[in-house]
Structure 1
Amino acid sequence: MRVFPTYTFGFSDMEADIERRVITGGTALSGQEDVVGADGGGRVFAQYSDPYLDEPEMALAWKACASVLKGGVVPVIVPLGDLRHQFGRDLRIPKSLPWWTEAEYLTGDSGVSLSADAVLRATTLNLAIEFLPGPLRAGMWLSIDHVTMRHRAYMIDEVVSQSGTAAEIKISHPLREATLSGVAVEFHDPRCVMRLEGEMRSPSNMGFATGSAIRFVEHFPATGGGYA
């Protein structure tokens, strides 16, 4: 599967979070309003703006990405790029354009894996820690490369317990796929299979390409399907 070159475009602004949908039954005479979730835990989104496209090679890569993504029809792996609250580990960024391949975009051993099997829609994960630069904290991203659903991103809601070799955490939304003990958990550079939502335009201003803001949302394959 193609990997979107998030870091190459040098976006000035980015945001990644969980998008939720709630419904309400209305407001009671007492003024109380009951609100319930109606989205199964929400979906991950990531949006970026102000890419660096001054060089012709970058402008062409942007247009090539837009062509392949086809307005959201084609899913890709998107490195979230929200490294503010992660561990600041150096990343090896491929130089190829317009896409990266999974083979060349590797971050090495994550240092963390599941220490117990996790069932579908689990919201608590038990982790085995081999090495991490610092403690896990609520608000950090993580991702797991599932067998069928591939890379899925989750956020830590709560660190229940933590030692130098193990941790128990609660995550932002239910696990997308049952996962076996020993599977790696990526904390340094989380990523997610997503699709483009909207357009990816690149108008010209004074002879230079300018990129529009773009937005990705978590992609879900057809029921019973997966990814090649």
Structure 2
Amino acid sequence: MFVFPLHRFNPGIFAADVVAKVIDGGTAINGEKTVIQTDGGGRWEGSIGDIDLDDPYEKRLYEAWASHFAGGGRAFLMPVPSIDTAPAPFSGDKIAWPSDISDDDDFYPTSVGFATPWIEARLVGASALRATTVTIEVTRGSRLTPGMRFGAGGNRAYKIERIVSRDGQRATCIISSPLRAALADGSPLNFDWPLVQCTAVVGQNLTPEYSYGYASVSVSFVEDFTDA
């Protein structure tokens, strides 16, 4: 599966988060209202905007990917990094991106990340499908805090909602969403450049409108569970 080349577009606007879907379960006679979550803990949704198409390479790259989206019918891997909040190894420093990002193909990469990983972390103990509590050890980087996001299993990403205990560089965390697959003890976790299997949102207009050879486009995406 190909990785959307976010680092090559370097969009001006980027939004991605775990979004919970709920329905109103009604209000009881005592006035208490019930809300029912229907999506198993939420799914990633987001958009990228201000993608400036002002040189031939970016135009070709976007045209290729607009076709690859297949109107929302084909899955791809979308990066959902949050570099400013990641457990960077140097306190107070911000990792500048995309300057240090490398890939294995200009148009359709299958591997994207920092040439030298800034953050290295692993799962401590095996975790079952749908687990909401995991223990993580950072072997390169700073201590974990709530609000950080990480990738696991190659095509799923999660957010640290709360830390319930800590022992040095190990932290037991409540995560969102629940694990989409079981993970073995020692599984590597990607805090640098987490990826989520997604599709483009169906029905959006992906056609650039050029004016004097320039266009600015946006793409909305949603987590995909095909063969998950």
Letter matched to residue 212 of structure 2: M
Q: Which residue of 1 aligns with 2:168?
A: 164
Matches of 1:204 and 1:144 in 2, distance apart? 39
Letter matched to residue 120 of structure 1: L
Matches of 1:165 and 1:50 in 2, distance apart? 38
> Per-residue deviation at 1:85?
1.5
Letter matched to residue 50 of structure 1: D
Residue 64 of structure 2: SS of its match in structure 1? helix
2:222 corresponds to 1:217: yes
Q: Which residue of 1 aligns with 2:91?
A: none
Residue 7 of structure 1: SS of its match in structure 2? helix
> Per-residue deviation at 1:70?
0.5
Matches of 1:95 and 1:183 in 2, distance apart? 23
2:43 corresponds to 1:43: yes
* Structure 1 residue ranges, 4+ long, deviating more than 4 angstroms after superposition: none
1:137-216 equivalent positions in 2, closer than 5 A: 137-145=145-153, 150-198=154-202, 199=204, 200-211=206-217, 213-216=218-221
C-alpha spacing 1:79/1:63, structure 2 compared with 1 (3 Å): same
2:119 corresponds to 1:115: no
Matches of 1:151 and 1:95 in 2, distance apart? 17
Q: Which residue of 1 aligns with 2:2?
A: 2
Residue 26 of structure 1: SS of its match in structure 2? strand
Normalised by the length of structure 1, the TM-score is: 0.86
> Per-residue deviation at 1:29?
4.3
> Per-residue deviation at 1:80?
1.3
> Per-residue deviation at 1:128?
2.5
Q: Is the contact between residue 16 and residue 82 of structure 1 (CA under 8 Å) also seen in structure 2?
A: no
Unaligned runs of 5+ in 1: none
Letter matched to residue 39 of structure 1: D
1:50-129 equivalent positions in 2, closer than 5 A: 50-86=50-86, 87=88, 88-89=94-95, 91-94=100-103, 96-102=105-111, 105-107=112-114, 108=116, 110-129=119-138
C-alpha spacing 1:82/1:165, structure 2 compared with 1 (3 Å): closer
Matches of 1:204 and 1:65 in 2, distance apart? 17
Aligned residue pairs, count: 215
> Per-residue deviation at 1:51?
0.6
Matches of 1:31 and 1:124 in 2, distance apart? 33
Matches of 1:75 and 1:57 in 2, distance apart? 23
Q: Deviations over 1:40-71 (max 9, x none)?
A: 11111121111121111101110100101101
Instruction: Give the % identical residues.
Output: 29
Q: Is the contact between residue 123 and residue 173 of structure 1 (CA under 8 Å) also seen in structure 2?
A: yes
Residue 171 of structure 1: SS of its match in structure 2? strand
Letter matched to residue 103 of structure 2: P
Unaligned runs of 5+ in 2: 89-93
C-alpha spacing 1:176/1:101, structure 2 compared with 1 (3 Å): same
Q: Is the contact between residue 143 and residue 169 of structure 2 (CA under 8 Å) also seen in structure 1?
A: no
> Per-residue deviation at 1:165?
3.3
Letter matched to residue 223 of structure 2: E
Q: Is the contact between residue 104 and residue 110 of structure 2 (CA under 8 Å) also seen in structure 1?
A: no
